[in-house]
């Protein structure tokens, strides 16, 4: 089902460019979108793409990953075990403001006469640059050049260079650099995806001071008890005369430079900004001191060194993570160019969402918006971790360790919902379940299996035994316990192990029995737990003893997991020869998507949930996702039939769908659909396919676009850690190249229509399979193989 029609990023706003997103004019109509598109961040700190002058803005946003307020969830009618505490990532004090006045007139984009306007997000340098030539009403031509970065190498630091030159005259110029606290939080009453917020003012003012060029303020958050300090310091370079004043109360601080600007003489301000936060353990004073140290170091280093560091960090990232695609000059090069630009921007935004997410997860919107309240979902493990595991395993490891840090709360949560083992929260910041809607929240038990699936891939691809035997094994034991407790052996199903009253990934079908995705993934989780425990018992006695100590693991537990997995019920309909999404899915009435007005999507905003639930209509890939993740458990025929059945029912109302549909379409040889879905996924945000990029980036879909390229077009599969390729380069592309990091080795892959080249760029020896043929690569070696044509889709044979 393909609903969306607008698929091209507005070219007049973002001309095609392989490494840059360039806004060539100021379009107030696109203000909300561009605030997201031009976001910069490092996974700890994120700035929306608001202008330095602070206005105009739709959502002025500055976010710190995991920095949140809690609030009691109030239910009209409550029930036992409902989640109790809401969590919302806060919009923290905004330190990116630098206001400009010339002849006491404020620089304000909507009314300014602009002779030049260009804003560029440079994905190689990691900077957001803007060049504006403003002609004031009195005829003064003022050149404003700014550059902003959130440092990838210095977690707590951001910096802005702001240069003003009056080109044709002299003028009094005031540059006022601010920190503005008490920012509003997004609150969407009608759209359930938006942040619910809370009504109280969450901030308690703590230490604050202004000293010379330095500003400092700190706050404590009322309910969560978290503490934040934010500081800024400045350095000015100019030949013009100037004076400076500063002040800082609890919520607002400024350093103001009043300059007698001389014709053609630049005035350059460097603003360094530091944020430090704590869950409550460190006092505001201590955090102010940390900001002081960060600022001292930044001043010493200077802006240009920070720019250099940023470039080095990104060179390293792109060297590992880039996907280069080349369009066919005779076919649609423009669209290949767009794809390249959007793909890189997606990968760049993922990096910005997690590079320094140390001790936190990845919010569904990264640090680009408050929608979904800054919560962590399965998005991280299923959609983003594959990219990270294969390109930046350090970050993947941090994220898995972060999940482990929630294990005690997951154990507690399992007790709250009357189970044993551990149940990870469907959505959370602090480890507690924050989903107030259990049908599409808590009931998504598959989150347990998703996390364990990501762990398995990570461990196989990196060979990181330490993580597997420590944090990993402990999580495996507790999640396996949950599954064993949750399901039961059903006599009516021939003694098979059934799991009832759960919700799968498709949130348009809830609280069902035997959701195929959940059962398949739970089976995988149980097998994986049993195998790991047995392997440790036989080969790593010390680790095993440790595990027993930490989990109270009993002698035969793994055998029970194994048995439940072996006897897992997997729904299958003999007549249709498909896997029903769950026990009752096929009994429901089919939703008539063709007759549904376009204006009524996403359905969740226009129909009561019960109307949706009683139909066969799918929000996002469910069985189709299982066919990708666990592709070796389906036959080719099943893949065709399942895809053909579910695809027309899938609305794609979740951005997590298109990428998966593209991968499976590519696998079954439906190039047309593969390309269409791939374009939806890749352009999801840059072209605003879902119409809500204003609320932030869809980080999961962005991770999905890497998967579309590598699993979809390169046809990579990694079952059991064995890497195989079955390339399916679509016609619109001429070539594609990328690199993977496999057990510390670097594999470079280049695909054209005719052949594929594999090079072992670093490492020792590596085995990969190309269309069924095993290849062994030695260091530095390139092996080239022709590509067999893709299979003809069923029903299209001559
Ligand atoms: C999707 C979920 C996803 C969440 C956050 C929802 O719309 O249905 O699968 O985890 O968004 O991205």
Nearby residues of 463 by Cβ (< 8 Å), 6 or more positions away: 743, 744
- Mutational pocket test of ligand 1: of 618, 656, 701, the residue with most ligand atoms within 8 Å of the beta carbon: 656
User: Which domain CATH number covers 760?
Assistant: 2.60.420.10
Please report the atom of ligand 1 found closest to the CA of residue 444: 9
- From atom 12 of ligand 1, which residue's Cα is the shortest distance away? 364
Residue 619 counted as an annotated binding residue? yes
- Is 634 a member of any domain? no
Nearby residues of 121 by Cβ (< 8 Å), 6 or more positions away: 20, 21, 22, 37, 38, 40, 49, 127, 128, 345
How close is the Cα of 454 to the center of ligand 1, in Å? 17
Is residue 507 among the annotated active site residues? yes
- Is 798 a member of any domain? no
Q: Is the dihedral of CA 694, 696, 701, 705 positive or negative?
A: positive
- Is 701 a member of any domain? no
- Is 128 a member of any domain? yes
Residue 197 confidence class, pLDDT cut points 50, 70, 90? low
Predicted TM-score (pTM) above 0.95: yes
Q: What percent of the chain has pLDDT over 70?
A: 96
Comparing 417 with 791, the larger pLDDT belongs to: 417
Nearby residues of 79 by Cβ (< 8 Å), 6 or more positions away: none
User: What is the C-alpha separation between 720 and 599, in angstroms, rounded?
Assistant: 44
Cβ of residue 733 lying under 6 Å from some atom of ligand 1: no
Cβ of residue 620 lying under 6 Å from some atom of ligand 1: yes
Q: What is the pLDDT of residue 757?
A: 98
Cβ of residue 695 lying under 6 Å from some atom of ligand 1: no
Q: Which of 638, 647, 496 is nearest to 564 (CA)?
A: 496
In which domain, by residue range, is 272 found? Answer: 19-26+93-284
Residue 465 counted as an annotated binding residue? no
Q: What is the largest CA-CA distance in the chain?
A: 90
- Is 776 a member of any domain? yes
Cβ distance 307 to 127 under 8 Å? Answer: yes
Residue 187 confidence class, pLDDT cut points 50, 70, 90? confident
Please report the atom of ligand 1 found closest to the CA of residue 378: 10
- From atom 9 of ligand 1, which residue's Cα is the shortest distance away? 505
Mean pLDDT of 52-56: 97
Instruction: Decide which of 241, 269, 284 is a domain's last residue.
Output: 284
Residue 189 confidence class, pLDDT cut points 50, 70, 90? low
- Is 199 a member of any domain? yes
How close is the Cα of 356 to the center of ligand 1, in Å? 23
Mean pLDDT of 100-124: 97
283-329 pLDDT, tens digit per residue, is 999 999 999 999 999 999 999 999 999 999 999 999 999 999 999 77
End-to-end CA distance of the chain: 26
451-493 pLDDT, tens digit per residue, is 999 999 999 999 999 999 999 999 999 999 999 999 999 999 9
Q: Which of 24, 702, 626, 35 is nearest to 363 (CA)?
A: 702
- From atom 7 of ligand 1, which residue's Cα is the shortest distance away? 654
Cβ of residue 700 lying under 6 Å from some atom of ligand 1: yes
Phi–psi pair at 795, nearest 5 degrees: 85, -10
| Of 507, 524, 557, 667, catalytic | 507
- Mutational pocket test of ligand 1: of 364, 445, 691, the residue with most ligand atoms within 8 Å of the beta carbon: 364
Tell me how crowded residue 149 is: count the other CB atoms within 10 A of its CB. Answer: 24
Residue 331 confidence class, pLDDT cut points 50, 70, 90? confident
Phi–psi pair at 61, nearest 5 degrees: -135, 130
Instruction: Decide which of 242, 268, 284 is a domain's last residue.
Output: 284
- From atom 5 of ligand 1, which residue's Cα is the shortest distance away? 364
User: What is the C-alpha separation between 518 and 626, in angstroms, rounded?
Assistant: 9
- Is 696 a member of any domain? no
- Mutational pocket test of ligand 1: of 377, 605, 693, the residue with most ligand atoms within 8 Å of the beta carbon: 377
- Mutational pocket test of ligand 1: of 372, 439, 503, the residue with most ligand atoms within 8 Å of the beta carbon: 372
How close is the Cα of 689 to the center of ligand 1, in Å? 16
User: What is the C-alpha separation between 35 and 368, in angstroms, rounded?
Assistant: 8
- From atom 1 of ligand 1, which residue's Cα is the shortest distance away? 654
Q: Any idea of the CA torsion for 602, 31, 351, 323, to the nearest 10 degrees?
A: 80
Q: What is the pLDDT of residue 1?
A: 35
Average pLDDT, the chain: 95
Residue 135: strand pairing partners? 113, 141
- Please state the domain count of the chain: 2
pLDDT at 783 over 70: yes
Tell me how crowded residue 21 is: count the other CB atoms within 10 A of its CB. Answer: 25
- Helix, strand, coil content of the chain in percent (nearest 5): 35, 25, 40
Q: From edge to edge, which strands make up the β-sheet containing 765-770?
A: 724-725, 765-770, 773-778
493-529 pLDDT, tens digit per residue, is 999 999 999 999 999 999 999 999 999 999 999 999 9
Phi–psi pair at 282, nearest 5 degrees: -100, 145
Using DSSP, how many helices (H) and how many strands (E) does the chain show? Answer: 19, 30
- Is 756 a member of any domain? yes
Please report the atom of ligand 1 found closest to the CA of residue 379: 10
User: Which domain CATH number covers 263?
Assistant: 2.70.98.40
Cβ of residue 656 lying under 6 Å from some atom of ligand 1: yes
Cβ of residue 376 lying under 6 Å from some atom of ligand 1: no
Residue 620 counted as an annotated binding residue? yes
How close is the Cα of 193 to the center of ligand 1, in Å? 9
Burial of 166 (0-12, 13-18, 19+ CB in 10 A): buried
Find the helix or strand (DSSP H, E) in which 772 lies.
Answer: none
How close is the Cα of 656 to the center of ligand 1, in Å? 7
Residue carrying structure tokens 């170091």: 297
Please report the atom of ligand 1 found closest to the CA of residue 507: 8
What is the 3 state secondary structure string of 485-538?
HHCEEEHHHCCEEECCCECCCCCCCCCECCCHHHHHHHHHHHHHHHHHHHHHHH
Cβ of residue 758 lying under 6 Å from some atom of ligand 1: no
Q: Which of 722, 692, 716 is nearest to 192 (CA)?
A: 692
How close is the Cα of 377 to the center of ligand 1, in Å? 7
- In angstroms, the Cα distances linking 774 to 398, 636, 737 are 33, 21, 20
How close is the Cα of 722 to the center of ligand 1, in Å? 30
User: What is the C-alpha separation between 388 and 209, in angstroms, rounded?
Assistant: 41
Burial of 769 (0-12, 13-18, 19+ CB in 10 A): middle
How close is the Cα of 598 to the center of ligand 1, in Å? 21
Mean pLDDT of 88-96: 97
Cβ of residue 619 lying under 6 Å from some atom of ligand 1: yes
Residue 379 counted as an annotated binding residue? yes
User: What is the C-alpha separation between 393 and 214, in angstroms, rounded?
Assistant: 38
Residue 14 confidence class, pLDDT cut points 50, 70, 90? confident
Mean pLDDT of 33-58: 97
Cβ distance 244 to 207 under 8 Å? Answer: no
Residue carrying structure tokens 């604050």: 208
Instruction: Decide which of 226, 256, 284 is a domain's last residue.
Output: 284
How close is the Cα of 519 to the center of ligand 1, in Å? 20
- Mutational pocket test of ligand 1: of 521, 654, 696, 700, the residue with most ligand atoms within 8 Å of the beta carbon: 654
- From atom 6 of ligand 1, which residue's Cα is the shortest distance away? 654
User: What is the C-alpha separation between 415 and 427, in angstroms, rounded?
Assistant: 17
Cβ distance 229 to 276 under 8 Å? Answer: yes
Cβ distance 527 to 567 under 8 Å? Answer: no
- From atom 11 of ligand 1, which residue's Cα is the shortest distance away? 654
Find the helix or strand (DSSP H, E) in which 382 lies.
Answer: none
Residue 278 confidence class, pLDDT cut points 50, 70, 90? very high
User: What is the C-alpha separation between 483 and 629, in angstroms, rounded?
Assistant: 19
Mean pLDDT of 532-542: 98
């Amino acid at each position: 089902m393909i609903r969306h029609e607008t698929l091209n990023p507005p070219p007049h706003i973002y001309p095609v460019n392989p490494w840059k997103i360039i806004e060539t004019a100021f379009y107030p109509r696109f203000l909300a979108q561009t605030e997201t598109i031009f976001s910069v961040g490092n996974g700890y700190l994120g700035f929306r793409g608001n202008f330095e002058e602070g206005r105009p803005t739709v959502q002025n946003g500055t976010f710190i990953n995991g920095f949140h307020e809690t609030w009691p969830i109030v239910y009209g009618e409550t029930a036992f075990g409902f989640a109790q505490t809401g969590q919302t990532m806060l919009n923290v004090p905004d330190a990116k403001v630098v206001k400009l006045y010339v002849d006491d007139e404020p620089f304000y984009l909507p009314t300014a006469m602009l002779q030049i306007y260009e804003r560029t997000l440079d994905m190689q340098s990691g900077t957001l640059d803007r060049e504006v030539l403003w002609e004031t009403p009195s005829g003064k031509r003022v050149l404003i050049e700014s550059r902003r970065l959130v440092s990838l190498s210095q977690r707590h630091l951001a910096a802005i260079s702001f240069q003003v030159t009056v080109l044709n005259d002299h003028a009094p110029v005031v540059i006022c650099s601010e920190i503005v606290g008490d920012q509003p939080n997004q609150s969407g009453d009608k759209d359930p995806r938006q942040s619910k917020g809370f009504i109280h003012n969450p901030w308690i003012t703590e230490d604050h001071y202004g000293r010379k060029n330095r500003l400092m303020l700190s706050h404590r958050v009322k309910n969560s008890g978290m503490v934040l300090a934010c500081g800024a310091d400045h350095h000015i370079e100019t030949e013009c005369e100037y004076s400076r004043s500063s002040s800082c109360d609890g919520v607002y601080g400024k350093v103001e430079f009043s300059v007698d600007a001389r014709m053609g003489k630049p005035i350059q301000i460097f603003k360094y900004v530091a944020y430090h936060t704590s869950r409550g353990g460190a006092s505001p004073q201590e955090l102010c001191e940390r900001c002081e140290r960060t600022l001292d170091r930044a001043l010493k280093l200077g802006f240009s060194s920070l720019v250099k560091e940023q470039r080095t960090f990104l060179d390293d990232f792109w060297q590992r993570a880039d996907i280069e695609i080349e369009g066919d000059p005779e076919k649609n090069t423009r669209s290949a160019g767009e794809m390249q630009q959007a793909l890189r921007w997606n990968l760049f935004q993922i990096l910005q969402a997690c590079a320094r997410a140390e001790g936190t997860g990845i919010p569904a919107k990264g640090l680009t918006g408050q929608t979904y309240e800054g919560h962590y979902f399965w998005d991280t493990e299923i959609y983003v971790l594959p990219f990270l595991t294969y390109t930046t395993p350090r970050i993947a490891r941090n994220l898995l360790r972060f999940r482990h840090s929630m294990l005690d709360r997951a154990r507690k949560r399992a007790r709250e919902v009357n189970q044993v083992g551990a149940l990870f929260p469907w959505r959370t910041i602090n480890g507690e379940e924050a989903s107030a809607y259990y049908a599409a929240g808590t009931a998504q038990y598959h989150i347990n299996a998703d996390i364990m699936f990501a762990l398995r891939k990570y461990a196989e691809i990196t060979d990181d035994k330490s993580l597997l035997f420590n944090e990993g094994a402990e999580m495996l034991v507790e999640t396996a316990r949950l599954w064993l407790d949750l399901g039961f052996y059903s006599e009516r199903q021939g003694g098979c192990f059934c799991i009832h009253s759960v919700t799968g990934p498709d949130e348009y079908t809830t609280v069902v029995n035997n959701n195929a995705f959940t059962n398949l993934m739970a089976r995988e989780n149980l097998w994986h737990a049993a195998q790991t425990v047995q392997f440790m018992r036989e080969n790593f006695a010390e680790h095993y003893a440790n595990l027993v100590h930490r989990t109270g693991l009993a002698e035969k537990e793994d055998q029970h997991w194994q048995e439940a997995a072996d006897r897992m019920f997997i729904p299958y309909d003999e007549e249709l020869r498909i896997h029903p999404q769950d026990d009752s899915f096929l009994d429901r009435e089919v939703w008539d998507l063709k007759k549904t007005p376009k204006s009524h999507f996403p359905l969740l905003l226009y129909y009561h949930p019960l109307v949706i639930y009683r139909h066969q209509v799918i929000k996002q890939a469910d069985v189709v996702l299982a066919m990708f993740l666990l592709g070796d458990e389906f036959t080719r025929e099943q893949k065709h039939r399942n895809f053909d059945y579910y695809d027309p029912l899938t609305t794609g109302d979740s951005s997590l769908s298109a990428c998966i549909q593209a991968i499976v379409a590519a696998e079954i040889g439906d190039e047309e659909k593969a390309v269409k879905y791939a374009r939806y996924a890749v352009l999801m945000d840059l072209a605003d396919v879902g119409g809500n990029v204003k609320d932030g980036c869809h980080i999961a879909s962005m991770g999905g676009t890497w998967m579309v390229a590598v699993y979809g077009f390169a046809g990579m599969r990694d079952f059991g850690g064995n890497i195989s390729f079955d390339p399916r380069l679509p016609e619109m592309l001429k070539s594609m190249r990328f690199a993977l990091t496999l057990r510390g080795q670097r594999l470079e892959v280049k695909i054209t229509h005719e052949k594929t080249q594999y090079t072992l760029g670093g490492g020792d020896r590596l085995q990969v399979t190309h269309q069924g043929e095993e290849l062994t690569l030695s260091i530095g070696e390139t092996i080239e193989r022709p590509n067999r044509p893709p299979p003809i889709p069923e029903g299209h044979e001559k």
